[in-house]
């Protein structure tokens, strides 16, 4: 839609007369570690994609976690998230994960934090206010009173959520009837000689439902045998890919 009206970003789009203005979107994840635990590959690619488009499309992406480790906050995510906040952490390593330097491990707690803006090389030490639950309730009541009528975007409300990707609602994880990770999963199964849902979960870092669906696709395509129900691994029936394998996407 931006290209159709020759707008580079949301600000310039909303200045064009005669078109319906688009709102800013605030996308918040309260505990990133939970998502990364169950669907790491999916979450990383989705967050990175959103972050890359966020500035131009008016999306504010807020990620929070109590476990700042490299398997939760990956390098690809950090490269696309310019501003960072660090509260008191337990070690210098955790501080480096968040702000790329030590210092957060020496904070005093109770709102004491380091803020690293995108246009500065060193963080600023700032103090966050303590807000009680009562104040939060009063603030939300005030905001709601400013707009008694709630307006929803009909296109979003009517969209079919489709298949869940690694436990993430509303994101399709399949192409032409097969999961986009089918090729990679098939290669892992053929090389290792193991075919189980839990095995694919560990190797691909995806959720149980998605891993089970990929196993079912392999069985339907004739690569693996049916489950025996006795705890034994499934038999590998074909050791070479066939026309069932999805074509590689062009670079």
Whether 160 shows a pLDDT value over 50: the answer reads: no
Q: Looking at residue 101, what is its pLDDT? A: 93
**CA separation, residue 89 to residues 102, 136, 173 (Å):** 10, 25, 36
> Do 26 and 88 share a domain, yes or no?
yes
Looking up tokens 């789009």 gives: 13
CA 77, CA 45: separation in Å to the nearest integer?
9
Q: Looking at residue 1, what is its pLDDT? A: 78
Residues whose CB is less than 8 angstroms from the CB of residue 37 and which lie 6 or more positions away in sequence, other chains included: none
Question: Contacts from 213-220 at CB under 8 Å and sequence distance 24+?
Answer: 213/179, 214/179, 214/181, 214/182, 214/185, 217/178, 217/179, 217/182, 218/182, 218/185, 218/186, 218/189
- Is residue 94 situated within a structural domain? yes
Whether 251 shows a pLDDT value over 70: the answer reads: no
CA 188, CA 246: separation in Å to the nearest integer?
15
Residues whose CB is less than 8 angstroms from the CB of residue 244 and which lie 6 or more positions away in sequence, other chains included: 178, 221, 222, 223
- Is residue 160 situated within a structural domain? no
- Is residue 156 situated within a structural domain? no
8 A C-beta contact, residue 199 and residue 191: no
Q: How crowded is residue 182: how many other Cβ atoms within 10 Å of its Cβ? A: 23
Q: Looking at residue 125, what is its pLDDT? A: 96
Parent domain of 216: 177-241
> Do 122 and 208 share a domain, yes or no?
no
Q: Looking at residue 143, what is its pLDDT? A: 86
> Do 126 and 190 share a domain, yes or no?
no
In the chain, % of residues over pLDDT 70: 82
- Is residue 149 situated within a structural domain? no
Residues whose CB is less than 8 angstroms from the CB of residue 99 and which lie 6 or more positions away in sequence, other chains included: 84, 86, 114, 116, 123
Q: How far is CA 75 from the centre of its chain?
A: 14
Residue 112 — very low, low, confident or very high, per pLDDT cuts 50/70/90? very high
Residue 171 — very low, low, confident or very high, per pLDDT cuts 50/70/90? very low
CA 198, CA 52: separation in Å to the nearest integer?
32
CA 79, CA 51: separation in Å to the nearest integer?
9
Instruction: List, for residues 188-235, the tens digit of each pLDDT value.
Output: 999 888 888 888 888 888 877 788 889 989 998 889 988 776 556 788
CA 24, CA 19: separation in Å to the nearest integer?
16
CA 236, CA 215: separation in Å to the nearest integer?
12
Q: Looking at residue 162, what is its pLDDT? A: 42
Instruction: Specify the number of domains making up the chain.
Output: 2
Q: Residue 184 maps to which CATH number?
A: 1.10.10.10
* Residue 85: strand, helix, or coil: strand
Q: Looking at residue 98, what is its pLDDT? A: 93
Whether 176 shows a pLDDT value over 70: the answer reads: no
> Do 123 and 183 share a domain, yes or no?
no
Q: Residue 48 maps to which CATH number?
A: 3.40.50.300
> Do 26 and 85 share a domain, yes or no?
yes
Instruction: List, for residues 54-65, the tens digit of each pLDDT value.
Output: 878 888 999 999
Residue 61, beta-bridge partner list: 27
Alpha-helical segments (H) within 130-232: 133-146, 154-157, 182-192, 197-204, 208-220
Whether 118 shows a pLDDT value over 70: the answer reads: yes
């Amino acid at each position: 839609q931006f290209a159709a009206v020759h707008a580079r970003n949301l600000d310039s789009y909303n200045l064009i007369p005669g078109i319906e203005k688009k709102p800013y979107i605030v996308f918040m994840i309260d505990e990133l570690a939970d998502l990364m635990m169950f669907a790491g590959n999916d979450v990383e690619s989705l967050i990175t994609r959103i972050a890359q488009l966020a500035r131009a499309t008016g999306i504010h992406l807020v990620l929070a976690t109590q476990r700042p480790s490299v398997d939760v906050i990956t390098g690809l995510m950090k490269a696309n998230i310019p501003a960072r906040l660090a509260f008191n952490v337990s070690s210098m390593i955790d501080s480096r994960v968040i702000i790329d330097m030590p210092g957060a491990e020496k904070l005093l707690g109770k709102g004491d934090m380091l803020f690293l803006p995108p246009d500065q090389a060193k963080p600023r030490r700032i103090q966050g206010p303590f807000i009680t639950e009562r104040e939060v309730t009063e603030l939300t009541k005030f905001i709601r009173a400013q707009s008694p009528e709630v307006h929803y975007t009909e296109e979003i409300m009517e969209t079919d959520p489709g298949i869940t990707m690694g436990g993430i609602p509303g994101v399709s994880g399949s192409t032409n009837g097969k999961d986009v990770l089918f090729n990679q999963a098939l290669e892992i199964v053929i090389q290792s000689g193991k075919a189980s849902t839990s095995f694919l979960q560990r190797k691909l870092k995806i959720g149980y439902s998605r891993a089970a669906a990929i196993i079912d696709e392999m069985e339907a395509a004739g690569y693996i045998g049916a489950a025996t129900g006795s705890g034994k691994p499934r038999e590998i029936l074909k050791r070479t890919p066939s026309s069932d394998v999805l074509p590689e996407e062009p670079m």
